[in-house]
Chains A and B, each alone.
Chain A
Amino acid sequence: MKITDVLVIGAGLAGERCAIEAAAAGQSVLILSLVPPRRSHSCAAQGGMQAALGNCAKAEGDSPDVHFLDTVRGSDWGADQEVARIFADNAPVAVRELAHFGVPWTRLRPGTNRYHIKGQQVDIEEPEENAGLIMHRDFGGTAKWRACYAAAGTGHATLYAVDSQVVRLGIDVLDRMEAISLVHDGERCHGAVVRCLRTGRLETILAKATVIATGGYGRIYGNYTTNAVINEGVGASLALDTGVVPLGNMEAVQFHPTGLWPAGILVTEGCRGDGGYLLNAAGERFLVDLEPEKQELASRDVVSRHMMNEILAGRGENSPNGPHLWLDLRHLGEQHLTTRLREIYEICHDFLGIRPWEALVPVRPTQHYSMGGVRVNKDGQAYGLGGLFAVGEAACWDMHGFNRLGGNSLAETIVAGRFVGARIAEFVSASGPGPDSALGIQALRAQERRLAALAERGQGGRSIYAIRDELGEIMMNRLGVFRSGDEIETAIDDLNGLIKEVEGTGLRSSAPGSNPELTFALRLPGMLKLGLITAMGALARTESRGAHYRTDYPQRNDAEWLNRTLAHWREPADAPELSYEPVGLLDLPPGHRGYGASSQVEMQQTVADYNASVPAAQTAAGRLPSTEPLGARLRPGAWQGAFSAPT
């Protein structure tokens, strides 16, 4: 048994930045990771990190206020606006801190710079006085160029810089270690039971604060995801299994417009930000007419829907793996593609055998990001269970609502890591001695029994991998870019069938040690539950908001659905329980996003009445008190007068 002040589960950017904050405050910190930290999925982020530094010509007039407006509009008003405010206000300092940690951000070159903007080649003069400041590139759904970047390896450069600080501070990272259950008494979390992926041995780690920083769960979409193979929802399952912590907005699933087809590998939005086009099989730029204002750079949910419509109308390129569209980067040229988009060139070279300045890149919308996750208050503390925190993609903090803007998640990892890390440090300082070890031993025994029961099943039934593949097909085909009530209902029936089936499925291998089949068998039931919660949330939400699009309810409905879905799974129930809470205090009133659909069902309440209902409703939903009162960071109306503010 190990004892620590802070146990961080997951060594990606959010987890590590959080750990640094707690360690710098003098607390003992232990990080667990499925893989060596620098292999975490954060390393695969490519195009950029949003922060309103306003350094280049096309960023002039940018500010945290404009970033806040873009983020709330991007979320289709599903975000918690106070959290979006905390985020936008702190993103600049987070990016500058990363420069201090050594990230080699691309810098501004003064003089004439040639850009590709909306199909035109444009020469823009960058002033000498801004030479050497952090450069920005354009991204979708933003009014200004705001994404800071290091070629197309921004996640890699950032993760290496942050991990170098973890090494420097001497923070212990136990890699190849998986948390398989939380130690808790129904009111307070006290750590986790962990399983070593080298030896298979179990151990308890007791902690005053436990942090879930395990990233997303895109692998429930099988191979139809840009996510790494480790993104199997371990953290969401840990929280769900407590029975007292809800998951938020699980039906809010992002599809990235440009997943490489059919491999599913991400091709950054920075490609379109730097001037790349989307083409149909006839070679037409179909988005110019559909989105005159933003063209290829509307938000991801909007572009993905236009792309799927193009494919469904038969204008996609046919391939043995199904139809796709093209990303055209040829006009950006070899020089640009081998420097500022170098990683995209490498992917094209390694996996397609093509040179993107000569050939088109096959793409199709692909599952990419989980807006939903462990529901937390603004301090990052989970609803319903003291001492449990969540941060980054694993959390529903909730600055993304129903659609995340490109470059906002990388920025969230650092902003939230800093902010929540500081709150955790305060929490630990204020908490008394930890639990006696009996609780930890009890939790360990429960996991030993779980493993023994799995081993006793013997061989039988389909392989767990066949069940996983079926899950992926159900999710992509019936809970994809377009959804309808009928299809979701069949998905729910099928998922319930799989949940029953997996209970009786045995293992083929009894190899001593960590046993990769056993490792996956422990995760699969949780993945199926996450799939079911996604489906049930999607069925219940009879409107279209952000990435959640119902063909049978195509309008956003602020009169009935300006809320967040919460899902509990209270054992021994055999189904999740859905409830709803207000999205949070409103500052920017719901309206038109500036791209995509132009009408919605208006809210009936006044903003003042809506806001008055928020504190009590969220407390009833399990929100724990935060250090500062609700709304303290909101700065209502501060955005008025900012560029692109509504008039």
Chain B
Amino acid sequence: MSPTAGRTLKFEIFRYNPEDPASKPHMETFELRETPFMSLFIALNKLREEQDPSLQFDFVCRSAVCGSCGMMVNGRPSLACKTLTSQLDTTIRLHPLPAFRLVGDLSVDTGSWFRGMSEQIGGWISEKAPFDPEAKEERMDDELAQAIYERERCIECGCCVAACAVANTRPAFVAPAGLNRIARFMMDPRDVRDEADWFEVVSSDEGVFGCLGLMGCQDICPKELPLREVYAYLRRKSLGGLLGKKAKRA
């Protein structure tokens, strides 16, 4: 373990308060003494509590499961709560995630973006029949349950959206998180939608064919989701969907 401590850290932080007519976007510098095992969660709270009480940022769980604290750390989308200062040089540059509406300083509106994405792709189980409270649960092979869980692990932090060249230029693109979510429901036998139904959602520039394959998403995903596999799965399924569509028409 390397609990680097005692260094003087220089934080360069993006500042802008849209609610303040006098505020203009700018970078502001703060200095802070490093403590052992200091994370950006600890550092930013210290800055707010001791130096500038107006500093805006978001943390909730502080244990890398809620996805609130995505931000650009030295130009790289990261979860701030699990970023330790000991992993970084003494100068730390923090910006809000791009591609999302800014709330203020380092805080961005990921909530509206993800709700919109869910609505766009139909991000819920379209079940075969209504719930029967009297019946035992439908059986599922544990291998399949684990595979679905692997897709389910996305915490919607938005880091992949920020890292995606397409998502930054084309707002309707469902982005890596959206494609992963589609794959999650597509592989779930409880969902009644077949490949042909999904074809409309997936097989356009807003879906998997919008992806340029730069794979910044996989490089930065804080949960290390296997996104390359997801896209290959979706492309393969889209082809099946296309054939299925033709078959239906015939």
Give chain A's interface residues, CB within 8 Å of chain B.
Answer: 35-41, 43-44, 53, 93, 95-97, 99-102, 104-109, 131-135, 150-151, 153, 156-157, 160-161, 164-165, 167-168, 173, 175-176, 198-200, 228-230, 263, 265-266, 320, 339, 343, 346-347, 350-353, 463, 465, 507-509, 511-517
Contacts and interface: CB of A to CB of B under 8 A. Distances in A.
B136 to A, nearest CB: 7
3 A-B pairs with least C-beta separation: A36-B111, A513-B19, A132-B139
Interface string B38-68: 0000000000110011111011111111111
Interface in B130-182: 131, 133, 135-142, 145-146, 148-149, 152-153, 155-156
Given A102-B125, A516-B55, A229 B60 contact: yes
Given A100-B125, A107-B140, A173-B115, A511 B152 contact: no
13 contacts: A96-B137, A104-B146, A104-B188, A105-B137, A107-B139, A108-B142, A151-B149, A156-B152, A167-B119, A320-B36, A352-B1, A509-B52, A512-B21
B125 A101 contact: yes
Contacts of A320: 36
A151 B142 CA distance: 11
Nearest to B2: A353
Nearest to A45: B65
Contacts of B104: 513-514
Given A150-B145, A157-B149, A160-B152, 19 more contacts: A35-B68, A38-B66, A39-B61, A41-B60, A101-B125, A102-B124, A102-B190, A133-B139, A135-B142, A157-B152, A173-B115, A199-B19, A228-B60, A228-B61, A263-B63, A351-B63, A509-B52, A509-B53, A516-B54
B203 interface: no
Contacts of B140: 104-105, 107, 132
Interface residues of B, number: 63
A176 to B, nearest CB: 7
A346 B81 CA distance: 13
Nearest to A152: B65
B105 to A, nearest CB: 10
Contacts of A339: 146
B4 interface: no
B111 A176 contact: yes
Given A104-B145, A168-B124, A38 B133 contact: no
B32 interface: no
Contact of A43 (B61, B114, B146): B61
Contact of B149 (A150, A176, A353, A463): A150
A511 B142 contact: no
B56 A516 contact: yes
B58 A35 contact: yes
Nearest to A103: B152
Contacts of A200: 19
A497 B155 CA distance: 42
Interface string B109-121: 1111011001100
B123 A265 contact: no
Contacts of B139: 107, 131-133
Contacts of A101: 124-125
Contacts of B64: 346-347, 350
A108 to B, nearest CB: 7
Contacts, number: 190
Contacts of A151: 149
B89 interface: no
B17 interface: yes
Contacts of A346: 64, 223
A44 B124 contact: no
B103 interface: yes
B226 interface: no
B54 A35 contact: no
B213 interface: no
A173 B66 CA distance: 17
Contacts of A106: 142, 145-146, 149
Nearest to B36: A320
Most-contacted residue by chain A among B56, B60, B131, B185 (CB, 10 A): B60
Given A38-B67, A133-B139, A153-B153, A513 B18 contact: yes
A164 B153 CA distance: 15
A269 B61 CA distance: 18
A529 B212 CA distance: 55
A200 B223 CA distance: 33
A48 to B, nearest CB: 14
B62 A265 contact: yes
A105 B140 CA distance: 9
B66 A167 contact: no
Count chain B CB atoms within 10 A of each CB in A102, A168, A176, A228 and give the residue with the most. Answer: A102
Contacts of B56: 514, 516
A353 B82 CA distance: 11
A446 to B, nearest CB: 23
Contact of A38 (B20, B103, B114): B114
Interface string B193-223: 0000000000000000000000000000001
Contacts of B137: 53, 95-96, 99, 105, 133-134
B124 A164 contact: yes
Interface string B1-44: 10000000000000001111100000000000000100000000
B67 A515 contact: no
Contacts of A343: 65
Contacts of B148: 104
A158 to B, nearest CB: 10
Nearest to B122: A168
Contact of A107 (B59, B67, B141, B188): B141
Contacts of B58: 35
